[in-house]
Amino acid sequence: MNLPMTAQEAPARLLRLLVINPNTNPAVTRHVQRVAEELVGPDTRVTVVNPQEGPFSIETAADKAAALPRALDLIRRHRAVGYHALAFACFEDLGLAEARAVAGMPVVGACEAGIAAARTVASRFSIVTTVAAAVPTIKNMVHGLGAGSFCGVVAAGIGVAAAAGAAALADARIAAAIRLAIEEQGAQAIILGSGGLTGRAAGLQRQFGLPVIDGVAAAIKMAEAVAALGLLPD
């Protein structure tokens, strides 16, 4: 008589996640890869890729326009590998609709994932991003996600590449932006709104004593959760 396997005896399903850093900065890709490997479960494999050509940082509308077709090309070239979900390591909406149309798998954006996580721990929160040019786009995304009345946006005034480094000036400006969000916007939690800020959440949470959510990390974890639901056949 063959008895059914228990949960402990059943073989684990290996989940494969694709993460796209749409800029060409290898430092950002390395940060994201490290954070992802620390974050996901033992039966999840993460591949982080970036295009070989295109903007080094995505800070303007022109950067976004140049990066989008290259990101879509990466998605098309990796589809055949058989990933179960995809996350973007970019906070601004870099063509989520277009990506979902070609990916053949669930696609998670960092803004939507960060806001979903922040809603579980705070009634008011703020997004801290890098450059001021990103603020209007992020505000439009926040309103589109129904969070405009309780989610503020603050720019630290540093570039994405600088944010990905360890310069004291970058640290000071990020901290100043968080203080402004707390004092002027009543933020009870902070969302880090740039791939260049990936890896900073734990240290900032200790520094300020309130929840700090890495938008890219939230997207990766949400992608893992959606992949585990088995929404698409292998």
Q: Is 5 a domain residue?
A: no
Q: Quickly state the pLDDT bin for 198 (edges 50, 70, 90).
A: confident
Give yes or no: residues 157 and 101 share one domain: no
Nearest to 25 by CA among 89, 103, 80: 89
- Mean pLDDT rounded to a whole number for the chain: 90
Q: Is 233 a domain residue?
A: no
CA distance 210 to 148: 21
Give yes or no: residues 54 and 115 share one domain: no
Give yes or no: residues 160 and 94 share one domain: no
pLDDT tens sequence across 19-62:
999 999 998 899 899 999 999 999 999 999 999 999 998 888 89
Q: Is 210 a domain residue?
A: yes
Give yes or no: residues 45 and 92 share one domain: yes
The parent domain of residue 45 ranges over 15-109+218-228
Give yes or no: residues 121 and 47 share one domain: no
Total domains, the chain: 2
Question: Would you say residue 10 has pLDDT above 60?
Answer: no
Percent of the chain exceeding pLDDT 70 equals 91
Give yes or no: residues 32 and 48 share one domain: yes
Lowest pLDDT segment from 72-76, 162-166, 169-173:
162-166
CA distance 171 to 210: 17
Give yes or no: residues 188 and 136 share one domain: yes
The pLDDT value given to residue 31: 87
Q: Is 142 a domain residue?
A: yes
Q: What is the CATH number of the domain that holds 25?
A: 3.40.50.12500
Give yes or no: residues 84 and 21 share one domain: yes
pLDDT tens sequence across 70-129:
999 999 999 888 899 999 999 987 889 999 999 999 999 999 999 999 999 999 999 999
Lowest pLDDT segment from 56-60, 104-108, 151-155, 200-204:
56-60
